[in-house]
């Protein structure tokens, strides 16, 4: 089966052109429950719908967001006026996407490591998601850093699964976002973060090539190369930018149209400043942008938790965070 490359390229353009980025609103029910509990909100289906509708209906966000990644529950929900969620995004010119992996499970015989599952039945699920309006998809693999890990076994198992997902996505006409994430909450140096991030990307592109995935029709989503959050030394934005761009240039082919970053537990301010520094050291071989969950949503969620019946404050905070992140993505944070 041949891949409709033109269609994939159009989707990439709709997602990233004009300096736009993505909102990752695709937390699984387990993850969003943790986030809600941290701000004292009950994780009911209706609360999850309400918070997501709050974000998707915020004034002006379509100026800065080209796409939103949804979770399986959300893509089937409707807004309070009865519009299906994906349709509500499309009405604003925002492309709906879908997280399709089924989460990271313990990797057999590799203590402390995980492999992402979700390939079984994925061809049929892609058909359904496409009918529901999704034009792109996401699959996340997580790699923990520690003594003797990641192992080759973890890197190859995750990259192989991700490449098979990407091939199925392209076959269905959806742009796959491949998301290898090295977890940054340890004590490692920025050198070690760079080493593992590079190894992950190298293995991923070997597997993508083996599976015949069209590099022009996918996006890479990955971590910035930062010092482990609990490490003794913390690199500033200029060093983070330099190391991140070096790892990407060495390992992501120029045929790939875009690289988007996750925020990965950075504070809102760090995620914005580091993105700004990365933008300022361009031009890059690929479009570079953001695809944040926590660094866009965190403060708005907290405000909403404090006043669930009056969403104005939460929407104002969300709008401002998206606006600043988009300014950072142009390297214009200081003027924003």
114 counts as catalytic: no
Which residue among 221, 242, 320, 332 is the active-site one?
221
**Does 263 sit near ligand 13P (CB under 6 A)?**
yes
Please, which residue, 188 or 272, has the CB nearer to ligand 13P? Answer: 272
Please, which residue, 3 or 141, has the CB nearer to ligand 13P? Answer: 141
**Does 292 sit near ligand 13P (CB under 6 A)?**
yes
20 counts as catalytic: no
Question: Can you tell me whether residue 82 is helix, strand or coil?
Answer: coil
Shortest distance in whole angstroms from residue 308 CB to ligand 13P: 22
**Does 183 sit near ligand 13P (CB under 6 A)?**
no
Q: How many CB atoms lie within 10 A of CB 18?
A: 11
Shortest distance in whole angstroms from residue 81 CB to ligand 13P: 28
Per-residue mark of binding to ligand 13P, 4-43 (x: CB under 6 A): --------------------x-------------------
Cite the DSSP H helix spans in the chain. Answer: 5-16, 29-38, 45-56, 72-75, 85-91, 122-131, 152-172, 190-210, 237-251, 268-280, 294-306, 312-329
Q: How many CB atoms lie within 10 A of CB 212?
A: 11
Using CA atoms, how far apart are residues 200 and 251, in angstroms rounded to an integer?
A: 9
| Number of DSSP helices (H) and strands (E) in the chain, helices first | 12, 10
For residue 29 the two structure tokens come to: 């029910």
Please report which helix (H) or strand (E) contains residue 69, including its range.
strand 65-70
**Contact window for ligand 13P (CB under 6 A) among 7-15, 51-59, 286-294, 308-316:** 286-294
Which residue among 179, 181, 203, 320 is the active-site one?
179
Residues that bind ligand 13P (CB under 6 A): 24, 140, 179, 262-264, 292-295
């Amino acid at each position: 089966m041949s891949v409709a490359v033109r269609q994939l390229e159009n989707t990439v353009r709709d997602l990233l052109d004009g300096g736009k980025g993505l909102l990752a609103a695709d937390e699984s029910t387990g993850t969003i429950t943790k986030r809600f509990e941290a701000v004292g909100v009950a994780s009911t289906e209706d609360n999850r719908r309400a918070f997501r509708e709050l974000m998707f209906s915020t004034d002006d966000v379509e100026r800065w967001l080209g796409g939103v990644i949804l979770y399986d529950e959300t893509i089937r929900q409707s807004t309070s006026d009865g519009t299906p969620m994906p349709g509500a995004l499309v009405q604003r010119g925002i492309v709906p996407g879908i997280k399709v992996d089924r989460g990271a499970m313990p990797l057999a015989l590799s203590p402390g490591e995980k492999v992402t599952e979700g390939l079984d039945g994925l061809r049929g699920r892609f058909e359904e998601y496409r009918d529901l309006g999704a034009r792109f998809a996401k699959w996340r693999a997580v790699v923990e850093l520690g003594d003797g890990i990641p192992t080759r076994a973890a890197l190859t198992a995750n990259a192989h699964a991700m490449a098979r997902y990407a091939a199925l996505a392209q076959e269905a006409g959806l742009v796959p976002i491949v998301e290898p994430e090295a977890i940054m909450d340890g004590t490692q140096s920025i050198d070690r973060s760079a080493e593992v991030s590079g190894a992950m990307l190298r293995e991923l592109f070997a597997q993508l090539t083996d599976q015949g995935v069209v590099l022009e029709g996918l996006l890479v989503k990955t971590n910035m190369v930062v010092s482990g959050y609990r490490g003794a030394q913390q690199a500033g934005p200029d060093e983070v930018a330099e190391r991140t761009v070096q790892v990407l240039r060495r390992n992501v082919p120029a045929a790939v149209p875009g690289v988007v970053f996750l925020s990965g537990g950075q504070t809102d301010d760090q995620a914005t400043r580091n993105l700004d520094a990365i933008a300022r050291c361009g031009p890059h071989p690929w479009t570079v942008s953001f695809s944040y969950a926590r660094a866009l949503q965190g403060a708005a969620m907290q405000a909403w938790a404090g006043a669930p019946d009056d969403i104005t404050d939460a929407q104002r905070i969300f709008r401002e965070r998206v606006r600043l992140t988009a300014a950072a993505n142009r390297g214009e944070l200081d003027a924003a």
